[in-house]
Amino acid sequence: VGLLYAQAELRQGRWATAWGPFEHYCWGRIWEVGLEQYIPQWQGEPLDGKRILILQGGGFGDNLMFMRWFRDLKRMGAHITYACPDVMVSLLENHPWIDKLIPTHEGPETDELTEVDFFVSKNGVPEFDYFVPIMGLPLRLKATVENTERLSRLGPYIERPIVWERMDKLTNPRVGVCWAGAEKLDPRRHRSLNVEQTKRLLAVKNINWVSLQYGLDPPATNVWIPDIKNWRDTADVIAGLDLVVTVDTGVMHLAGAMGKPCWVILPALSD
């Protein structure tokens, strides 16, 4: 109920009252493991010369979307260590807003819960001045509709070179497609297209369809299937596309972060 209330406030543009319950109910448990007894949680204090540990939260798309606020932390003078999903490390290496990456991991062997290894201190010297969950950044930075729109107008914040040479030889529009989200724990599979819906989409002619789907083969033969192993591979493919068509999943947020035109297919009950 708390998360639904927060989402309703966000939809109405009342972000000032939305971010508190949004952070708590969406990812509040990430710091309830006792980290605050070792590292203070950042609540908006000056960051010039300070070392801040940012903890991943939500799904891949959430991490890509909330990364936009790293820009503000760097402008405040912070040294940023980001504990991010391991499959995103190759994408974010050498990113100008990130000084250090710590890979996290989740899977069947961790009960689908995020695990991360790091030292809170070495030889008695603290490694970090503060920590903050990534989904708590808009609350602390007082994000509003207006100032976030201004932030978006600064342009893409994830950039990749075009490396897929085969795309240069295609004459019809090059359109990436992602038709399913990966839900492990949440009953939100309705955001994915079923087989018949996917076939109807891929039946659109005069399109060079390129699969951005990880781990699933398309139910059609007119789709180019690149070798995608991680989020960097996905970004490299997106860089060479004219358009991305996707359901509500991480591919959408990556396309947005790259400034790539993107059409999103939403169910009536959308996030």
Determine what percent of the chain falls in helix, strand and coil, rounding each to the nearest 5.
40, 20, 45
pLDDT in tens, 42-83: 999 999 999 999 999 888 999 999 999 999 999 999 999 999
**Model confidence pLDDT, tens digit, residues 134-176:** 999 999 999 999 999 998 889 999 998 877 666 666 678 999 9
User: Confidence class of residue 184 from pLDDT cuts 50, 70 and 90?
Assistant: low
Task: Quote the pLDDT of residue 165.
Answer: 60
DSSP secondary structure code for residue 213 in this structure: -
pLDDT, tens only, 258-267: 999 999 999 8
Please write the tens of the pLDDT for every residue from 220-260: 999 999 999 999 999 999 999 999 999 999 999 999 999 99
212, 179 Cβ separation under 8 angstroms:
no
Could you tell me the pTM of the whole model? 0.91
Sign of CA dihedral 229, 230, 235, 236: negative
> In the structure encoding, which two tokens stand for residue 3, read together?
């998360």
Can you tell me the mean pLDDT for 17-41? 78
Q: What is the pLDDT of residue 28?
A: 56
Task: Tell me how far apart the alpha carbons of residues 145 and 154 are, in angstroms, rounded to a whole number.
Answer: 15
54 half-sphere exposure, CB direction, 13 A CA radius: 30
Residue 57: predicted pLDDT:
86
What confidence score (pLDDT) does residue 258 get?
96
Q: Based on the number of CB atoms within 10 Å of its own CB, is 6 exposed (0-12), middle (13-18) or buried (19 or more)?
A: buried
Give the H or E element holding residue 148.
helix 145-152
pLDDT band at residue 34 under the 50/70/90 scheme: confident
